[in-house]
Each structure stands twice: as structure tokens, then as C-alpha cells.
Amino acid sequence: MLVDTSQQPPTGPRGAGTGATWGFAPYPVVVADPSGGVVGTNDAATALFPGATAGAWLQDVVPAWIADAHARLRSTVPGPRNPGSGVLVHGPVGDRTFEAHPTRTDDGDVMWWLVDDTDRRLAEDALKAERERAAFLAGASSALLSSLNVERCMEVTAGLAAEHLADAAVIVAPPRGRKVQLTFCGPDGVVVHRTVHDDVRQLPGLGEALRGFPPVPSRWIDPAAVPGWAVPEGFTEPVGSAVVTPLPGHGVPAGALILLRSSGHAAFTESEEIFARLFASRAGAAVSAARMYAEQASITTTLMRELLPPRLHAVHGVEFAGRYRPAGRTERVGGDFYDVHPAADEEQESLVVLGDVCGKGLEAAVLTGKIRNTVQALLPLADDHQRLLGLLNGALMNSHHTRFATLAMASVVRRAGIVRLRVTSAGHPPPLIVRADGEVEQVRTRGTLIGAFWDVSSTTVRVELAPGETCLFFTDGITEARGGPLGDEFFGVQRLETALSQCAGMPAEAVVEHVQMLAAQWVGRGGHDDMATVAVTAPHHAHLSAVNGHTRGRYTG
């Protein structure tokens, strides 16, 4: 209980008689003697307590909370000349509420000053509720904003609604045919997803909500008509009231929100219904954004699938491994590319191609896609590298792309444990070979880049790899990686050769990983160009084939 001195009225006048100034006070005033008999009242008090006349017992004419407070005061505060304890009490009188402040008169009576605080209390309650709602909406918005995952948004919506707005909540996704996806959250806070095959129109207002019509008022929804499939499992009591409101979306509804209260609880008020709509509009926006993101991401994934570098694996006894790191941290594709086209059988040559389109990002990646497709189409001519490059050059010159590309390619076959390569560069950094003893040499092939001149020429070099030896194809993103301990040096061919000299006898996977790791560490936090590497390795030992994730592993000789 509060001791509020600021609100304490001045001690009453000497006489408690009706002629005193307090008799005209706008506040109800009741004076009672220590034994609980009413001594006097003013007009305002008489209006409030019609029976309160001098001589009546206080307990018979005023509410118990005042009479009780008076009795307590009598027992604790003896004697006159005591200004009163000032202990304020509060309670209802009819449909209003009052504060009662006691003061003591010189005669030892107690004068009760009543202040009507109904409106203030109502305003305070409304303010508190409004604050709670604002805080809830702010919390809900940030919880909903955090995820772009549709399922997760549904879970968050159901959880928040069940915790703050109702006993249980159900989110209904836009149905596909008769298949309806539901997300339940019951009084226990556990979120469950379920798919049902029922007609949404069984629940009054739900079909309308899902088609974007305005919500049906809660009082029109017969709780008994709520179908069993729309009630979460943990919700055992009968449904007492229900709200069905649409989750507004981008033009089409993102779903509907069903709020349920058990029969033991008060039905939804109109203000609660309005508030539920406010919440539903936020949830709907979040779910719609998530759905749009999912659709876009799915489109991107589909379109990107052809542009992503392939996963390489051993082909006909030759190890191939590739690694790719695009320039942008947020990108997955770029202007570098590689492919291995396996030969039909181990007697024939497989073709490995690694290249670099001038430019970065998606636009460059689109052109890599065209080049890769063209090379694929030209595979029957892969015996003759010059012819293949000439045709590829013609195709690029005739396309509307103004970009050009460099590439290195090799036809690879393994005979009697030795891997034989015919290597051709078209304006591309020549591949490096690491020998079994750690010696590193450049493949001396050179040629014109493609897509820039009508005439192109190149030389093809034959090389052999003994077991444990690797031929590494790379793009200039590796050698031109800028960084190092001083921050401004190129990684350079020299450093690449030194790194590669450590890679004698390593599996192809380990070689590309090692090179990419060194280049990435060289760059550190700085930016870099696309970086691609492909290793062609003559296996050292018998290796496990079929570890490409599709078939069971087995041993090969």
C-alpha cells in the first residue's frame, strides 16, 4: 500500500459539522468516529452513499473496503492531534473506483476523502494493454523478420499467436487442391506441422479468408462448427470461441490464421479481433516475403545448376579433381570454368577443359555456359584441338557477346600405368607438371585466345605422367591473387611452383585443395578474382573408384 503524501489533502477543519468548508468539497467526504459511527457527510458523499447519515454505522453504508480500513485505522492510531496515518486505500463503489484518503480531525474522528480515479485507472489499463501490444508487435515483427524460410515463418506465427492471442493457433497455408498444410501450436507451445485432406470450407470463414475476403466476425462462428482437423492435439477442452483471419500477402493471401479459445476462457472481444488482424497482417507480410524468397531461390538454383562447376572424379584410371572459388563472397559462379568429358572407354581419350572468360559474376558465368555447351557439342572433333578451338572461336566471334576467353585443354588417356596428355593452351597460362621427385615444369604450349580474332592458332604438346605425378591447370586468379604478409604482392607463378613441388605423390583432390588453400590464405581478407584449379594425376597406389557419391565403393587395381 502506498503512502502518497502529494495526494494527501490538508488536515480537515476543526469542526466536523456540516457547516465546515469541506461540506462544499467536490469530493465525497465521510467523517466517522473511532467506534465506526458516521459523524457527518458532505453532499457529494450523500449522493454516493445515500444511507450515510449521522448516526448510521459506517459498515452498513459504505463498501466493506472503506469500513475495514477504518477499523484498522482505529486499532493502530490512538489519540487526537495525530495527523493521521495517510494510508491510502482503493476499491470499487458501484461501477466506479475510488481512492480513499483518511485524515484525523482534532476530535479524534477520521475523515475519509474519496477521489474518483475510474477514468485514470481505465486510461492506465488501456495504456498498459497498448504498450504490451506494441511490445508484442515489435517482438513479433523482429521474430518474423529473422527468417526467410516459409515453414519457419509459419512456426513463429503459430507460436506467437498461441502464446499471446489465444489458447491455440493454427496457420492454414493456401490449399493445393484438397491438400491443406497446417501448422499447429497448442497451449503447450509445441509446434506441429500436418497435412490434411479436407475441405477448408468446413470452418466458417476459412474459405473466405483464404480467398482474400474480409474476415467473418468471431461471434458469427459457431464454436461447435470448428472441425476436428483444425484443432491441435493438445487442445482437449471444447472450443469456446474462434477467430479466423486472413494472412494478407502479395496480392494473394499467404494463408489464414485460426485462433481458438477453450470454453473455460472468455470469448474474443472485438478489440482482440482487431488486434489479431494487426498481427496477421505482419505475419502475412513475413510469410509472403519468405515464400517469394523460396521461389526466387528455387529459380536461381535451377538456372545456376548448369553454371556451377562440376564435381570431378576418377575416370578410366586417371584422377581428376577440380576446385573453384568465385570472386564475390556472395556469388557461386563466375567467369572461370572447367569440365571433364569422360571417354566412352579406357582406350580412348577423355577431354579436360579449363578456361577463363573475361569478366566476373553472373554475366561472365552465362558465357562460360555457352562455351561449355559448345565444347560439349564439338567433342567428336576433340582429337584435333586446333580444329575444335577454331570452331569454338568462330562460334564466339559470331555471337553477340563481346567478351573473349582463354582456355587450356588436354586429351588424357592412361596406358600401362602411364597417363598420356595432349595439352593445348589458347591464350591461357600453361599448366604445370609436378614430377615424382618434386621437380616442377611448365607445359610449353601456347596459342591465341578465343573470341577476339578471326584467325587463331595454337600448339599442342604431348606429356606423360608417371604414377604420383600431376598436371595442374589453373586460372590467373591463382597467380594474380594479391596479398601475402605485406598485403601487396602477387601470389605469382614462382610461389605456385614452390607450392606444387610439395605435391609430388599427392592425390589429385589434395593437390587442388592445397593450391586453393595457399592462394586463399595469401589473399586473406582481401578481394580476389575467380580462382579455378584442375589436377590430372596418375594414381600412385591402387585407389578407390566410385567414391563419387553415387555408387558403392570398391577396389580397383
Partner 1 sequence: MTPPPRPHPDAVPLGPAREHLWSAVRQGDERRAAAVVLDALESSGDAETVLLDLIAPVQERVGTEWAANRLTVAQEHTATAIHERVMAVLAHQPGLRDETPSGPRVTVACVDGEWHALPARLLAEVLRLRGWRVDFLGAHVPTPHLIAHLHQTGPRAVALSSSIPTHLPTAHTAITACQAAGVPVIAGGAAFGPGGRYARSLGADGWAPDARGAAAVLERGLDRPGPRGVHQTVDDLPHLADQEYTIVAETTHQLVKQTLADLEDRFEPLRGYTERQRRHTAEDLAHIVEYLATSLYVADEELFTRFILWTADILTARRVPARSLDPALDLLALQLKDFPRACRTLAHAREALGDRTPLPKTPGPGKPA
Nearest residue to 538 via CA among 503, 497, 493:
503
Pairing of strands 531-537, 319-325: antiparallel
Contacts of 40 (CB under 8 A, 6+ apart): 16, 17, 18, 30, 31, 54
**506 in contact with partner 1 (CB under 8 A):** yes
**543 in contact with partner 1 (CB under 8 A):** yes
**293 in contact with partner 1 (CB under 8 A):** yes
Q: Given the C-alpha cell 476436428, which residue does it identify?
A: 228
Question: If DSSP codes are grouped into helix, strand and coil, which group holds residue 141?
Answer: helix
- Please identify, among the stretches 94-102, 384-392, 443-451, 548-556, the one whose residues bind partner 1 according to the rule CB under 8 A: 548-556
Smallest gap from Cβ 128 to partner 1, in A, equals 20
Q: Given the C-alpha cell 459457431, which residue does it identify?
A: 222
| Residue 121 vs 152, nearer CB to partner 1 | 152
| Residue 101 vs 291, nearer CB to partner 1 | 291
Which of 484, 490, 492, 497 binds partner 1 (CB under 8 A)? It is: 484
Cell of 209: 479468408
Query: What number of residues does the chain have?
Result: 557
Nearest residue to 376 via CA among 357, 364, 391:
391
Q: Are 367 and 374 in contact (CB under 8 A)?
A: no
Smallest gap from Cβ 555 to partner 1, in A, equals 6
Q: How many CB atoms lie within 10 A of CB 172?
A: 25
Q: Are 368 and 335 in contact (CB under 8 A)?
A: yes
Packing angle of the helix pair 508-523, 492-501 (nearest 10 deg): 140
Which of 73, 504, 519, 535 binds partner 1 (CB under 8 A)? It is: 504
| Residue 416 vs 542, nearer CB to partner 1 | 542
Q: How many CB atoms lie within 10 A of CB 90?
A: 15
Q: Are 259 and 165 in contact (CB under 8 A)?
A: yes
| Residue 431 vs 505, nearer CB to partner 1 | 505
**466 in contact with partner 1 (CB under 8 A):** no
Which of 61, 514, 528, 531 binds partner 1 (CB under 8 A)? It is: 514
Which of 35, 76, 330, 398 binds partner 1 (CB under 8 A)? It is: 330
Smallest gap from Cβ 294 to partner 1, in A, equals 7
Q: Which string of x and - marks every residue 203-222 that binds partner 1 (by CB under 8 A)?
A: --------------------
Query: How many residues touch partner 1 (CB under 8 A)?
Result: 47
Cell of 339: 569440365
Q: Scan residues 129-148 and list those touching partner 1 (CB under 8 A).
A: 139, 142-143, 146-148
| Residue 118 vs 502, nearer CB to partner 1 | 502
Cα–Cα distance between 164 and 168 in angstroms, integer?
10
Smallest gap from Cβ 314 to partner 1, in A, equals 10
Q: Scan residues 98-117 and list those touching partner 1 (CB under 8 A).
A: none
Nearest residue to 16 via CA among 90, 156, 113:
113
**Interacting residues toward partner 1 by CB under 8 A:** 139, 142-143, 146-149, 151-152, 156, 290, 293-294, 297, 329-330, 332, 484-488, 502-507, 509-511, 513-514, 517, 520-521, 540-544, 547, 549, 551-553, 555
